[in-house]
Amino acid sequence: MMGAIVLSHRWLGIAFCLLFATWFASGIVMHFVPFPSLTEAERFAGLAPVGRGEATMAVADAVAASGITDATRVRLIRRNYGPVYVVSGPSRLRAVNASDGADASVEFPDVALAVAQDHARRRGLDAANATIVARADYDQWSVPNGFDRHRPLFRIALDDAAGTEIYVSSRTGEVVLDTTRSERGWNWVGSVLHWIYPTVLRSNWALWDQVVSTLSLVALIAAVLGAVLGIIKIRIRGRRMSSPYRGWHALHHVIGLVSTVFVLTWIFSGWLSMDHGRLFSHGQLTPAESRITNALPDWRMAASLDQRPLSAAAREIEWFAFDGGVIRRDRTGLDSQTLAKAGELASARQAAFLTEQDVLSLTTRMATGCGAVSALADKDDYPAHSVVPDAPVYRSRCGNLWFDIDGADGSVLQRLDASRRAYRWFYSALHTLDFPVLMARPRLRDVLIVGLCALGLVFSVTGVVIGWRRLRLTLAA
């Protein structure tokens, strides 16, 4: 048995020691430089005021023109040439001109370029030298599945000092992503290495999932074998513990013993990041729950909302299905909005967010035994955040099942059963150290993450040296 452990750890270590080193090093980078994305603040800053006096068709007519029979959300935004409705269903979305319902998808580069330039100028970016770089389904920064409904994407380089590149959806004509030269550079040694994220692999989600999950599991087995071997090889003389090894082997043994708990929990939790419902629940709504949250409304009910005046400051108007009805959402600022329910008089009082009673009415249709709804506290153990700053997130506890609902737009942010709550601790807490006590002390958390990952990196480097020497001897023989 001991011989098998030694042999397995030796060759698995040779195969995976460099991968371990890149995981620890790239983990430090990822903590400070996340994968490129368009933040809600950036997206909203790039929007033009919607209302300029043009006549727009009724929301129900826009839904009909889109051909999306299962539409649950409609947004009115302005492009550089006029207002556009973006109609969304559970699986697809489409843009139509608000004046006549004609298709408003973007086929020509000059239209995408104009959209990107207008967006950039509103954000204060220099777009004078902007040019189209590519029109493609995938590149290194647009591989996440969230962009699937927008592909292909137009990539526009602004040629500004920051090396900004903007991506425009061909489906809706919206800006959906931006990157800078600095973000791209750091992510090559951060997220791309850490997630094994080359475009050719990540563009095939099923293949990428299988490859990374398998590699993570084998790496975990190698780490467990090393921990077992390291503990067995400890020599105890009186009150002193020592290593039987010398040189790099001794350094690898001692550092391994010091970092055993962190290395094992970090690799284990990293493997769990690829769980996707294999061991723990996936946190998604069941088909029955989805049918309730995505219940198709009678969009003709939105006619009463059309009577409400449009604020000159409104940057985005959204109509969304909620609890069998339709709600209109007028956004005049990143953190300012008003909601109005279909059927209410135009003179009725408007609220900024959904209420606890609104949420309870929905969740009691989704599950039984729901108690009083509560707003999440800032230091909640299972945090969920609205895209609207300071908007409430409501938690409805229905027995052992919890639903977190965004008070700003009615979307379900989290579905937490016992399995998903456990997953939060086994994956997120162990891998990113987002324990509430550390989240309240961000600098201490930074120090711990950098320090522990650096320790893991040094440990991995000793393995690289030992593995390289062993490999050279084997090849020489």
Smallest CA-to-CA distance from 457 within 257, 255, 270 is with: 255
29 and 44 together in one domain: no
> Residue 225: which H helix or E strand, with range?
helix 205-232
Task: Please report the pLDDT score of residue 346 as a whole number.
Answer: 54
Note whether 249 and 216 are same-domain residues: yes
- 27 lies in the same domain as 59: no
> Among the three residues 159, 187, 215, which one is the final residue of a domain in this structure?
187
Percent with pLDDT over 70 in the chain: 98
**Cα distance between residue 223 and residue 235, in whole Å:** 21
**pLDDT above 60: residue 348:** no
Instruction: Supply 270's token pair.
Output: 């990293």
pLDDT above 80 (res 350): no
In a domain, 396, yes or no: no
For a pLDDT cut of 90, what percent of the chain falls above it? 87
Mean pLDDT of 22-37: 97
Looking at residue 38, its pLDDT comes to: 98
pLDDT of 473 above 70: yes
- In tens, the pLDDT along 403-451 reads 999 999 999 999 999 999 999 999 999 999 999 999 999 999 999 999 9
pLDDT band at 52 (very low <50, low <70, confident <90, very high): low
Quick check: is 316 in a domain? no
Residue 93 lies in a domain: yes
Which residue, of 187, 222, 239, is where some domain finishes?
Answer: 187
Residue 96 in this model has a pLDDT that exceeds 90? yes
pLDDT at position 368 is: 94
Q: For residues 182 and 204, state if they share a domain.
A: no
Which residues on neighbouring strands pair with residue 87, listed in sequence order?
74, 94
Would you mind telling me the total number of residues written for the chain in this entry? 477
Domain count, the chain: 2
pLDDT tens-digit series, residues 63-85: 999 999 999 999 999 998 899 99
Counting Cα atoms < 13 Å in the Cβ hemisphere of 61 gives: 12
Q: Are residues 207 and 178 in the same domain?
A: no
Q: Do 180 and 208 fall within a single domain?
A: no
In terms of Cα–Cα distance, which of 84, 157, 383, 426 is closest to 265? 426
- The per-residue pLDDT for range 245-277, each reduced to its tens digit, is 999 999 999 999 999 999 999 999 999 999 999
* Domain that residue 275 falls in: 2-34+196-280+450-476
* pLDDT at residue number 81: 83
pLDDT on residue 303: 86
The answer on 52 and 22 residing in a single domain is no
Looking at the fold, whether 9 and 67 belong to one and the same domain comes out as no
- Mean pLDDT, residues 157-178: 98
3-state SS record for 79-129: CCCCEEEEEECCCCEEEEECCCCCECCCCCHHHHHHHHHHHHHHCCCCCCC
Contacts of 230 (CB under 8 A, 6+ apart): 253, 256, 257, 260
Classify residue 139 by burial, with Cβ atoms within 10 Å: 0-12, 13-18, 19+.
middle
- C-alpha distances in angstroms, 188 versus 26, 182, 201, 273, 468? 9, 10, 15, 20, 25
Q: What is the pTM of this model?
A: 0.93
| Residue 344 pLDDT greater than 70, yes or no | no
430 belongs to a structural domain: no
Instruction: Tell whether 243 is covered by a domain.
Output: yes
C-alpha dist (Å) from residue 424 to 273, 416, 421, 451: 10, 9, 5, 23
Residues 6+ apart with CB under 8 A from 288: none
The predicted pLDDT at position 308 comes to 79
Residues 182 and 223 in one domain: no
- Least confident range from 136-150, 338-352, 452-466: namely 338-352
- Quick check: is 320 in a domain? no
Domain annotation covers residue 146: yes
Q: Is the pLDDT confidence value at 349 over 70? A: no
Arithmetic mean of pLDDT, 205-222: 96
Residue 241 pLDDT > 90, yes or no? no
Share the mean pLDDT of the chain: 94
pLDDT at 389: 92
pLDDT band at 477 (very low <50, low <70, confident <90, very high): confident
CB 384, CB 376: distance < 8 Å = yes
Q: Prior bond to 152 cis, omega within 30?
A: yes
Q: How far apart are CA 193 and CA 202, in angstroms?
A: 12
Could you report the per-residue pLDDT of 287-342, keeping only the tens digit for each? Answer: 999 999 989 999 998 888 877 777 888 999 999 999 989 999 999 999 999 999 98
Residue finishing a domain among 127, 154, 187: 187
Q: Do residue 97 and residue 67 come from a single domain?
A: yes
Structural domain contains residue 317: no
Q: Do residue 26 and residue 44 come from a single domain? A: no
| Residue 414 phi, psi dihedral angles, 5° rounding | -145, 145
**Domain shared by 61 and 175, yes or no:** yes
